[in-house]
Amino acid sequence: MISGPYLLYLGEAADPISVKTARGIAQWRPDACIGQRRLPGCEIDLGLADLTYAEAAAAGAKIMVIGDANAGGVLRTSAHPEIIAALEAGLDVASGLHQRLKDVAAIQDTAQRLGRTLHDVRDAPEGLKVGTGKPRAGLRLLTVGTDCSVGKMYTSLALEQEMRARSIPADFKATGQTGVLISGNGIAIDAVVADFISGAVEQLAPARNVPGWDIIEGQGSLFHPSYAGVSLGLLHGAQPHALVLCHEAGRPHIRGLEGRPLPGFAECIDANLAAARLTNPTVRAIGVSVNTSRLDPRERRAFCENLSDTLGLPCQDPLIDGVGQIVDNLIACFEPS
Amino acid sequence: MISGPYLLYLGEAADPISVKTARGIAQWRPDACIGQRRLPGCEIDLGLADLTYAEAAAAGAKIMVIGDANAGGVLRTSAHPEIIAALEAGLDVASGLHQRLKDVAAIQDTAQRLGRTLHDVRDAPEGLKVGTGKPRAGLRLLTVGTDCSVGKMYTSLALEQEMRARSIPADFKATGQTGVLISGNGIAIDAVVADFISGAVEQLAPARNVPGWDIIEGQGSLFHPSYAGVSLGLLHGAQPHALVLCHEAGRPHIRGLEGRPLPGFAECIDANLAAARLTNPTVRAIGVSVNTSRLDPRERRAFCENLSDTLGLPCQDPLIDGVGQIVDNLIACFEPS
């Protein structure tokens, strides 16, 4: 369990995508964010107070979160002395990078000397078991995608928020490092040993013996040749009753793989439903969450309406429209009237 | 590279499937197997000499292989003193279990004190990358299954043997611990970090710029809820031109999951082809390899003939009939006449 309060470390970040972890935390846990720490050259501003480590500690921050990431997930060397300074000032440090904090000797030594905690949130829990696929109690919703980085975490959190606003119990279950830092727990599913993908999800969202829903954050896509194994194991382990498909309108090709087209919507929904039926034969698709930010603003509503007509499912941009229609459909499909 | 000669440790194994690692090595590397080591209660006999550790070392054994496995891949505690005794007698020890030999302090300490090597063959290579799905040169065949433990490794090795006998270049690519111990190298694909499943297979069977085939050992099944993520990542990473479906006739349910039926043949072939097309649109199924050992001997031929008629593919029990018809079909489909 990681709970903050947080100081968000942005380093020298110049690229908005590189700070998506920090931005996600600032967006979904604003009360837990005490401030930001930026180095000269940083071009990102999350609108938080710029604090030194001593100021952050004095203001109540407990954990500094490494909020920028580069391709490959390696910790920038410019961050090493900053992390050490934060530890010296009394903060613990959390990171979701592939490269572990504890594997940098100077950081590990400092933390040990001072009795501080290093949270490498991509570390898998000990003692994971293989999945069983055995039916378990409770209702579960999983977000799936036409690709990576299309808004599955955002959509999952928006669904949790909307359902709670309607007094439907809902619990976000994080499967990625940003989600773990937002919700305080979870499992970075892309970092577990391959044999335990579905088992890890069964552990993350075990039998739910109370009303309401587990909202499980999806990862990757069945159509992404780098990550589809993760997506399928997650789909089987989640044993979902409801799927919400996430998509970025206008994306030219599969993320990172120029020339590889995205799947069609119906093809993508059908493939996810077919695979999901292995562990939950009653699974159904209940909506589509579309990031329309690449579209001309005048085209956005038409895009969602056309897609909704084609698929017979509510299609919404969660940033613009919220996810109310998707939750309406969830209720219509699953809640006794 | 691990090459033996081997002493095969069977422990207290009572279940023939639990010793498939030992059996596979005994079958495919008979010249490398010096003997077996069984504890009281063991109900398995591989037909090798029962040797003490001292006798095995004296007879030329270099490595004791942990040849039994339980679900979850944990080393039985009864094996700890045995492994230490083997190390004391002068043997190195190899294991394909998830739990690493080096993580058992008493074993690691003994090996270090004596200068022996512990081969944890499930350790993933350093520096794996995520897969790309980019088309690469060469021809690749992948074995897939209706379930786990249906003969994918056996079939792959039999195909390699048959093709080489016909002067078709063929190279077995091991993806499981037993295959690694048989062939001396490979990657235990179920043990890599989930993000790198397809990338590890791209590294294991990179562009093949020489004639002939890479014969890639399949793992698990798209229809096994514990392991399908591994199977899908492997399928995408293998980028196969040809699939051979493997099956155990008469298996009552998915391995380890009573009550869960096996998929139909056509359903299983179609699902594998559909998924494989993501990275190789020309993929085709070229045969079925059936383990008929559960059937009445009089029913075996009829089972294969009926299945062959139904699917329009050669169906053979590799132990009884070999894999000649499957290789005939591979040649007919892919080799210029």
**What is the ipTM metric for this complex?**
0.94
The whole-number average pLDDT for the span A39-65 is 96
Tell me which chain A residues have a C-beta less than 8 angstroms from the C-beta of B199.
Answer: 226
For chain A, give the mean pLDDT. Answer: 95
pLDDT value at residue B180: 95
pLDDT band at B17 (very low <50, low <70, confident <90, very high): confident
Going from the C-alpha of A228 to that of each of A250, A264, A272, B184, B247, the distances in angstroms are 21, 16, 11, 29, 24
pLDDT band at A84 (very low <50, low <70, confident <90, very high): very high
Edge to edge, what strands does the sheet with A139-145 contain? Answer: A170-173, A213-216, A139-145, A242-248, A284-291, A315-316
pLDDT tens digit sequence for B250-306: 999 999 999 999 999 999 999 999 999 999 999 999 999 999 999 998 899 999 999
Q: From the candidates B278, B279, B280, B283, which should be mutated to test the interface with A, based on the most A CB atoms within 10 A? A: B278
Distance in Å, alpha carbon of B68 to nearest chain A alpha carbon? 18
pLDDT value at residue B249: 97
**Nearest to B205, CA basis, from B100, B119, B279:** B279
Q: Give the integer Cα–Cα distance in Å for A160 and A278.
A: 26
> Which residues, listed in sequence order, are joined to residue A316 by a DSSP beta bridge?
A289
pLDDT tens digit sequence for A281-316: 999 999 999 999 999 988 999 999 999 999 999 999
CA within 13 Å, CB half, B214:
28
pLDDT value at residue A167: 96
Residue A1 scores a pLDDT above 90: no
Tell me which chain A residues have a C-beta less than 8 angstroms from the C-beta of B98.
Answer: 193, 195
pLDDT value at residue B246: 98
User: Does any CB of chain A come closer than 8 Å to the CB of residue B193?
Assistant: yes
Residue B112 scores a pLDDT above 90: yes
pLDDT band at A71 (very low <50, low <70, confident <90, very high): low
pLDDT band at A192 (very low <50, low <70, confident <90, very high): very high
User: Does any CB of chain A come closer than 8 Å to the CB of residue B190?
Assistant: yes
> A106 is written with which tokens?
């100077």
The whole-number average pLDDT for the span B192-201 is 96
Q: From the candidates B232, B253, B270, B279, which should be mutated to test the interface with A, based on the most A CB atoms within 10 A? A: B232
User: Does any CB of chain A come closer than 8 Å to the CB of residue B278?
Assistant: yes
User: Does any CB of chain B come closer than 8 Å to the CB of residue A230?
Assistant: yes
pLDDT band at B158 (very low <50, low <70, confident <90, very high): very high
> Which residues, listed in sequence order, are joined to residue A64 by a DSSP beta bridge?
A7, A93
On whether the CB atoms of residues B11 and B78 are closer than 8 A, the answer is yes
Element (H, E) at B199: helix B197-204
Q: Which residue has better confidence, A309 or B69? A: A309
pLDDT tens digit sequence for A94-144: 999 989 999 999 999 999 999 999 999 999 998 899 999 999 999 999 999
Residue A55 scores a pLDDT above 90: yes
> In chain B, positions 238-267, which contact chain A (CB-CB < 8 Å)?
256-257, 260
pLDDT value at residue A18: 86
> In order of start, what are the domains of chain B with their CATH numbers?
6-120 (3.40.50.720), 139-334 (3.40.50.300)
Tell me which chain A residues have a C-beta less than 8 angstroms from the C-beta of B73.
Answer: 195
User: Does any CB of chain A come closer than 8 Å to the CB of residue B230?
Assistant: yes
Closest alpha carbon within chain A to B226: A131
pLDDT value at residue B49: 97
Query: A268: helix, coil or strand?
Result: helix
**Nearest to B159, CA basis, from B149, B170, B167, B146:** B170
Rg, Å, chain A Cα set:
20
Q: How many CB pairs under 8 A join A and B?
A: 125
pLDDT band at B73 (very low <50, low <70, confident <90, very high): confident
Tell me which chain B residues have a C-beta less than 8 angstroms from the C-beta of A197.
Answer: 194, 229-230
For chain B, give the mean pLDDT. Answer: 95
CB contact under 8 Å between A228 and B198, yes or no, is yes
Residue B70 scores a pLDDT above 90: no
pLDDT band at B187 (very low <50, low <70, confident <90, very high): very high
On whether the CB atoms of residues B4 and B63 are closer than 8 A, the answer is yes
pLDDT value at residue A337: 62
pLDDT value at residue B2: 85
The whole-number average pLDDT for the span A173-197 is 95
User: Does any CB of chain B come closer than 8 Å to the CB of residue A148?
Assistant: no
Going from the C-alpha of A280 to that of each of A217, A239, A246, A312, the distances in angstroms are 17, 5, 20, 22
Q: Give the integer Cα–Cα distance in Å for B1 and A13.
A: 44
Q: What is the length of chain B?
A: 337
> What's the pTM?
0.94
pLDDT band at B337 (very low <50, low <70, confident <90, very high): low
